[in-house]
């Protein structure tokens, strides 16, 4: 395994992070435990979860993922071996069964206390805001369109104050953002610069893959100049970059077969790009999944690459990407394909 540090800290994390959002829906508790056992044995010490998981969100499965991680901690007593990240759900129609009050002080405290209880721990290493409260372009929206009905009032100072209080209590060690824009990222950073007592956001968890490199447009410079590290999610684009859906295939039990509305990475242009990447991987005798993940691993703004798997075979292949070195020739050909089909799946 290879390791980096959470920016502005001495916390060492594996460059591959274990994603968990299928546990409690597509995966059982036993399978989640098996994945964590294997990942830890392979040197992965960084796990990411959220109060919302498993995905898709549903009242009957609310926060089952955190509970599965909690029973694993209790069974093995190895909480100290894991850098644990979780998130408070943002305000949305599909999270009304959790709460409707956004990131108020009471909401953050309630969310954190619930996560700590389910995870059977007294602290979370990295606590993240899952997506912004304001209306902006995230979750598959390419561009920003201002909505006159967005009555959001800037509460970033208050959010950071609440997080700071929880850090002082020892319940949170570091904080991060997710599904954020350049404006939102700089707004958080500005607030903590002007008010030195407030905590600094150290990571941003946004989508990044061969099919969606929009992070490079506005966020990469911020990431490098401000040292806020990317935690890349969906590096395989809902499994599309494994190649398993090519040729109009729809494997039984696959994510898109189970949840047909998850089509963000399945447009005609995305399929064409995926086919090109598949042919390139075949030409160099590596799997498309490992090539796609290895590419993400090369990015200078990356802190950790969040992989998710429903089978042990997938998990083994995905973790193995850390040992794949892409040649200059492959990197050049990847850029050629990207220039032909830029960001087909925002």
Quick one: which of 268, 264, 272 has its CA closest to 236? 264
**53, 138, 208, 278: which is the annotated catalytic residue?**
53
**Cα-Cα-Cα-Cα dihedral sign, residues 235, 239, 242, 246:** negative
**Which of 132-147 are b and which e, b meaning 16 or more Cβ less than 10 Å from the residue's Cβ?**
bbbbbebeeeeeeeee
Task: Name the phi and psi angles at 198, rounded to 5.
Answer: -85, 150
- List, as one string, the DSSP characters of 50-78: -TT-SSS--GGGTTHHHHHHHHHHHHH--
Q: How far is CA 128 from the centre of its chain?
A: 10
> Catalytic annotation on 53?
yes
**Residue 31 is encoded by which pair of tokens?**
């399978």
Does residue 9 have a cis peptide bond before it, meaning omega lies within 30 degrees of 0? no
- Cite the active site residues: 53
């Amino acid at each position: 395994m290879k390791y980096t540090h959470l920016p502005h800290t001495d916390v060492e994390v594996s460059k591959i992070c274990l994603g968990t959002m299928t546990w409690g829906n597509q995966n059982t508790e036993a399978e989640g435990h098996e994945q964590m056992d294997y990942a830890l044995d392979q040197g992965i010490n960084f796990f990411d979860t959220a109060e919302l998981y498993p995905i898709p969100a549903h009242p009957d499965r609310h926060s089952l993922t955190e509970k599965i991680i909690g029973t694993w901690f209790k069974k093995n007593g190895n909480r100290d071996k894991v850098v644990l990240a979780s998130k408070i759900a943002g305000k949305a129609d599909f999270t009304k069964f959790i709460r409707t009050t956004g990131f108020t002080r009471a909401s953050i405290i309630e969310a954190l206390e619930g996560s700590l209880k389910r995870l059977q721990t007294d602290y979370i290493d990295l606590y993240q805001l899952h997506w912004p409260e304001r209306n902006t372009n995230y979750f598959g929206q390419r561009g920003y369109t201002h909505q006159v009905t967005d009555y959001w009032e800037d509460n970033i100072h208050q959010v950071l104050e609440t997080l700071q209080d929880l850090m002082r209590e020892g319940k949170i060690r570091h904080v991060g953002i997710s599904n954020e824009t350049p404006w939102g990222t700089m707004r958080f950073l500005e607030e903590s610069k002007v008010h030195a007592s407030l905590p600094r956001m150290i990571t941003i968890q946004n989508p990044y893959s061969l099919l969606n490199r929009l992070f490079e447009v506005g966020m990469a410079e911020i990431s490098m100049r401000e040292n806020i590290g990317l935690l890349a999610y969906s590096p395989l684009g809902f499994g599309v970059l494994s190649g398993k859906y090519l040729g109009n295939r729809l494997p039984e039990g696959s994510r898109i077969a189970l949840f047909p509305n998850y089509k963000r990475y399945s447009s005609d242009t995305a399929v064409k790009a995926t086919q090109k990447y598949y042919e390139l991987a075949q030409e160099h005798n590596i799997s498309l999944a490992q090539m796609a993940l290895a590419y993400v691993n090369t990015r200078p703004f990356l802190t950790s690459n969040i992989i998710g798997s429903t089978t042990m075979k997938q998990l083994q292949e995905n973790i193995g990407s850390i040992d794949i070195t892409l040649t200059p020739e492959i990197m050049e050909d990847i850029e050629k394909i990207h220039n032909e089909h830029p960001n087909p799946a925002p």
